[in-house]
Structures are given as C-alpha cells and as structure tokens.
Amino acid sequence: MGILTLRGVTVRYGTTTVIDDLDWAVGAATAPVSALLGPSGCGKSTLLRAIAGLTSLSAGTVAWDGVDLAPVPVHRRDFGVVFQDGQLFSGRTVAANIAYGLARRRWPRTRISQRVEEMLELVQLPGIGERRVTALSGGQAQRVALARALAPRPRLLLLDEPLAALDARLREDLAFAIGDIVRAAETPTVVVTHDRAEAAMLADSISVMRAGEIVQTAPAQRLWHRPADDWVAGFLGASLIVDASVTGSVLHTPFGQAAAQAVEGLPAQGPCRVALRPESLWAAPAEAGRADGTITHAAVLPGGTRLRVATDAGEVEAMAAEPYAAGEPVRLRLDPRQIAVIGR
C-alpha cells in the first residue's frame, strides 16, 4: 500500500490563507480509510483538491511514496475522485460510465466488460449495466460513481462529501457499504465529511480539521474519549466542558462523582478537564426532596428523552430513559463511559 505524504502544504487565494503549513500522511496498512472531519469552510475540500492536483499549492509538497507530485498532471496521478453529486455522465448507461476511465487507458474491450461486471458486483449492483444513470436512485448513483472511480485500480481514492446529498438512513447504510467496498478493493482512501458519525462509520482514522490545519488524528474511539482541546471536544458533541479532579479512586465534577477507573485517560491524581455530552448525565426522579436540578426543556427522542436541567452549577444537557416535563425536579448521575478527558 502506497503512502501519501503532505509536508508544509499551504494554499492561498489572494491574501486569504485556506490551508496553513499542513503536514499529514495517509495510507498506513492499519488505517486504509482516513477521514478529514471538520466544519464547513475549514479547508477540507480545498485540501482534497490540492491532493488531486485540481488546486495549486502556494507552498509545501504532496508526495506519493516519497516522489513529489508537483510536476505530475491531474490525469497522471492515478487518483480516483468522487464528488458530492457523483458527476455521472447523464447521457450514458451505467456500464459506459464505469468503463469511461478504462477506455481512456485503452483497455481491451473484453477486459473492460469483465471489469465493469466485477465493479457492479463489488458495489452490490449486479445486472444494471444497461440502465441509464438518470433512472438510478441517489444511493445507486453514488455506488456507480464509486465503481467508476475504482475501476482503473487507482492508487488513492478521494471522496468529497460523498453522502451529503442523501437522506439520513441512506447515508448510514451507504457509509458502511463504502467502507467495506474500498477495503475490499484494497485502495487507500481519503473521505471528506462534516458529519462525525459518518466519519466513524467510514474511516479507520479520523483527522479533525480547523481553520486550515489538522488539530488531531486518531481512531474514533480515542477521539471521543481523548479530544485534544476544548474546541475538538465541542465539535465532537460535548455540550459542557468543566474543571474536575481525581482524589483517591473518585472523579469529582461540579455535577457529581464517578469511579475514576471507569473513565479513560484520567490522571492518577489531581486536576483535569473533562467534557460532558448529553449522554454523560442521566436523570432520575427526585427522591425524598433531594434534587440536583429542575428541568427547563424536554424533548422525547427515539433513544430517550433529551433534557435541559437548571442546577446550582449552571444549565446542563442530560438524557432520561422516561419522559419528563419542564418544571420537574430530578437527580443526576454521571455515566463514566461517556466522559471525555481533554488533552492527548
């Protein structure tokens, strides 16, 4: 498996710096699918286009297996690219779309036909080669775009928000499918997304991007439990970040205590900073006049009731297994499995 290496990559449009002195590497055998995760406007798509050669660098290098790609034109880089809308050729059949890159490379007709069938099997769309792409659903169209990009056996696949135009359930199903497909094809892949759940479903490693720089790279599990700083924790879903401390075997927070050994990444003793998601706090009915707060808002969701609770330490978001109404007093307990510790 080849390695893509970025060193000091900078992209400017006039006086505006979009990517700033960025270092990154993609293609490790342990993490064949890498996600670039960040908010809109942080430079993710610009970085992808720079890798593909569609956007010029202001400084730095993009290299493949140590060879600088600066003199290599886009069509010679042997990278497959899939954009948000797939950009299929509307006047052609599914088979003709998948065969496009193969024909340009002068593959023999019999080999092209065989490869098209192989790709349709890979993306789980056998037998639709003669269908017009205008007759495809959104999910089918993205699978065909993926098959077209993979057909010439690119050494790197670049996916730019490939699921953004699809509905929520289809995004989830296709995220798992795309991850399986590119791993089966043994193609190193970079996927750009602003959706943290999508990144976790697709990728082996996630790089969080902020304002033109990568601020943390880690597998999803470590990101959720050890965000690098307050901004990363908030972007990954933390609703509250608080100062805390470990004394003995107990984690102390303004919203209760938890067993320290159940929280990943805590110091042995002393101060720390933790991030709480709504799932970190669970509400239960007040007992014998003992309450930790009063509900100000409640919304019943499929996974439980989402609450906002006014406490002496401030308003917090919490979850409950049962429906509640505004004005009800509740007790709160920490779920240590859902507590993140700030810092690497």
Q: What is the CATH number of the domain that holds 106?
A: 3.40.50.300
Domain assignment present for 155 = yes
Residue pointed to by tokens 């697709």:
202
Q: What is the CATH number of the domain that holds 303?
A: 2.40.50.140
Residues 83, 181, single domain; the answer is yes
Looking at residue 1, its pLDDT comes to: 59
SS3 call for 37: strand
Residues 216, 244, single domain; the answer is no
Looking at residue 241, its pLDDT comes to: 95
Residues 69, 113, single domain; the answer is yes
Residues 208, 252, single domain; the answer is no
Looking at residue 182, its pLDDT comes to: 85
Domain assignment present for 80 = yes
Q: In this structure, what token pair is assigned to residue 260? A: 């320290």
- Domain termination site, one of 197, 225, 253: 225
Domain assignment present for 255 = yes
Domain assignment present for 11 = yes
Chain length of the chain: 344
DSSP state of 7: E
Torsion of CA 241, 245, 249, 253, to 10 degrees: -50
Residues 206, 244, single domain; the answer is no
Separation of alpha carbons 113 and 116, rounded Å = 5
Separation of alpha carbons 291 and 337, rounded Å = 23
Residues 112, 37, single domain; the answer is yes
SS3 call for 266: coil
State which amino acid sits at residue 327: G
Domain assignment present for 29 = yes
Q: Which domain holds residue 285?
A: 238-341
Residues 125, 177, single domain; the answer is yes
Separation of alpha carbons 84 and 162, rounded Å = 4
Looking at residue 168, its pLDDT comes to: 76
- Domain termination site, one of 168, 200, 225: 225
Residues 20, 153, single domain; the answer is yes
CA 29 to chain centre: 19
Residues 284, 217, single domain; the answer is no
Question: For the chain, which ranges sit under pLDDT 70?
Answer: 1, 86, 344
Looking at residue 38, its pLDDT comes to: 96
- pTM to 2 decimals? 0.88
Looking at residue 344, its pLDDT comes to: 60
- Domain termination site, one of 225, 258, 291: 225
Domain assignment present for 232 = no
Domain assignment present for 40 = yes
Average pLDDT, the chain: 91
Asked whether the beta carbons of 204 and 42 are under 8 A apart, the reply is: no
SS3 call for 198: helix
Residues 218, 290, single domain; the answer is no
Residues 148, 274, single domain; the answer is no
Looking at residue 104, its pLDDT comes to: 87
Domain assignment present for 233 = no
- For the chain, how many structural domains are there in total? 2
Residues 212, 278, single domain; the answer is no
DSSP state of 267: -
